[in-house]
């Protein structure tokens, strides 16, 4: 049976952890789906791990649509989220056009966009038109040139700002929120303050679920993997078993362990 938004909301309410991984093509999407991943993210991280760019900024909307199409050919059941790439959400009109393409042509079930205050009107508009939206706060890869790759929310004022933005995003209609590179205690506070599922990446174990970049869990990342990621292929002998182990560890609450958490 296909995973729907209401399946994910019920999982969140009953305390079942949501397991998500990125995928960018049909074969990996198939194996993620077979392993019981609840959600597949067609992330604009593909700019780095597939295309070899230094950041996610060069990724185009056409490329996102192309990768979403491939993923959805391999995926039967998992909920599929696709990223709005850099600057495709620079106005309400552009975001609406981009989200429409990702859903109509790419077959995505939900779109994700980065930011707080800046995207509130966009979220309200997309949501009022029936488009499921996922917010993204904390470290924002599309703002890397301005803000760098840094933990967000270590000091009191940035922690308060993040909580305020999370509540505002929910009030404007996001159905889910990704928190990236945030101290575990803050991620847990945000998760408890919201009624929607909160999915963490480098945000500790107190969120409703976890997402990681596929290449990080398979040890394929060129250069250094983030400290919050784990190579699941190290302890097994196949990609399929590594993905299954990730799903199992997320669901059982074994991942992330304390050595993958960011403290205050
Ligand atoms: O693009 C991506 O893979 C993402 C994750 C880092 C959450 O947005």
Number of domains observed in the structure of the chain = 1
Decide if 149 contacts 191 (C-beta within 8 A).
no
Residue-range definition of the domain harbouring residue 159: 5-260
Distance separating alpha carbons of residues 144 and 132, to the nearest angstrom: 26
Rounded distance from Cα 232 to ligand 1 centre (Å): 18
- Residue located nearest, by CA, to atom 2 of ligand 1: 43
Mutation choice for ligand 1 from 141, 200, 202, 212, CB with most ligand atoms inside 8 A: 141
pLDDT in tens, 34-56: 999 999 999 999 999 999 999 99
pLDDT in tens, 116-175: 999 999 999 999 999 999 999 999 999 999 999 999 999 999 999 999 999 999 999 999
The backbone torsions φ and ψ at residue 81, rounded to the nearest 5 degrees and listed phi first, read -110, 135
CA pseudo-torsion sign 84, 88, 92, 97: negative
pTM to 2 decimal places: 0.98
Mean pLDDT of 91-110: 98
Rounded distance from Cα 247 to ligand 1 centre (Å): 17
Name the least confident of 33-37, 84-88, 221-225: 221-225
Write down the mean pLDDT value for the chain: 97
Question: Which of 47, 38, 42 lies closest to 2, judged by CA?
Answer: 38
Distance separating alpha carbons of residues 109 and 82, to the nearest angstrom: 8
Number of Cβ within a 10 Å radius of residue 1:
6
CB under 6 Å to ligand 1: residues?
Answer: 22, 41, 43-45, 83, 178, 180, 201, 211, 213
Mutation choice for ligand 1 from 201, 214, 215, CB with most ligand atoms inside 8 A: 201
Any idea how long the chain is?
264
Rounded distance from Cα 213 to ligand 1 centre (Å): 7
Measured from the Cα of 213, ligand 1's closest atom is 3
Mean pLDDT of 181-200: 98
- Residue located nearest, by CA, to atom 1 of ligand 1: 43
Rounded distance from Cα 144 to ligand 1 centre (Å): 13
Mean pLDDT of 204-222: 97
Measured from the Cα of 114, ligand 1's closest atom is 8
Q: Indicate the pLDDT class of residue 217, thresholds 50, 70 and 90.
A: very high
List residues with catalytic annotation. 180
Check which CATH number belongs to the domain holding 180 and give it. Answer: 3.20.20.60
């Amino acid at each position: 049976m296909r995973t729907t938004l209401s399946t994910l909301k019920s999982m969140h309410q009953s305390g079942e952890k949501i397991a998500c991984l990125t995928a960018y093509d049909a074969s990996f999407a198939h194996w993620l789906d077979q392993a019981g991943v609840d959600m597949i993210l067609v992330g604009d991280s593909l700019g780095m791990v597939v295309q070899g760019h230094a950041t996610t900024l060069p990724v185009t909307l056409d490329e996102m649509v192309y990768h979403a199409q491939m993923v959805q050919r391999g995926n039967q059941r998992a909920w599929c989220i696709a990223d709005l790439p850099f600057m495709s959400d620079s106005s309400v009109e552009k975001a609406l056009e981009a989200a429409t393409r990702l859903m109509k042509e790419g077959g995505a079930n939900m779109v994700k966009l980065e930011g707080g205050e800046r995207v509130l009107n966009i979220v309200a508009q997309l949501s009022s038109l029936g488009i499921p939206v996922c917010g993204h706060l904390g470290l924002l890869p599309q703002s890397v040139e301005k803000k760098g790759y840094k933990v967000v929310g270590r000091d009191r004022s940035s922690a308060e700002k993040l909580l305020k933005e999370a509540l505002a995003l929910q009030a404007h209609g996001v159905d889910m929120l990704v928190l990236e590179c945030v101290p575990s205690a803050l991620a847990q506070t945000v998760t408890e303050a919201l009624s929607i599922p909160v999915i963490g990446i480098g945000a500790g174990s107190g969120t409703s679920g976890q997402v990681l970049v596929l290449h990080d869990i398979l040890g394929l990342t060129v250069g250094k993997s983030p400290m919050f990621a784990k190579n699941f292929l190290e302890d097994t002998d196949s990609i399929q078993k590594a993905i299954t182990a990730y799903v199992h560890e997320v669901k059982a609450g074994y991942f992330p362990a304390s050595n993958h958490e960011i403290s205050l």
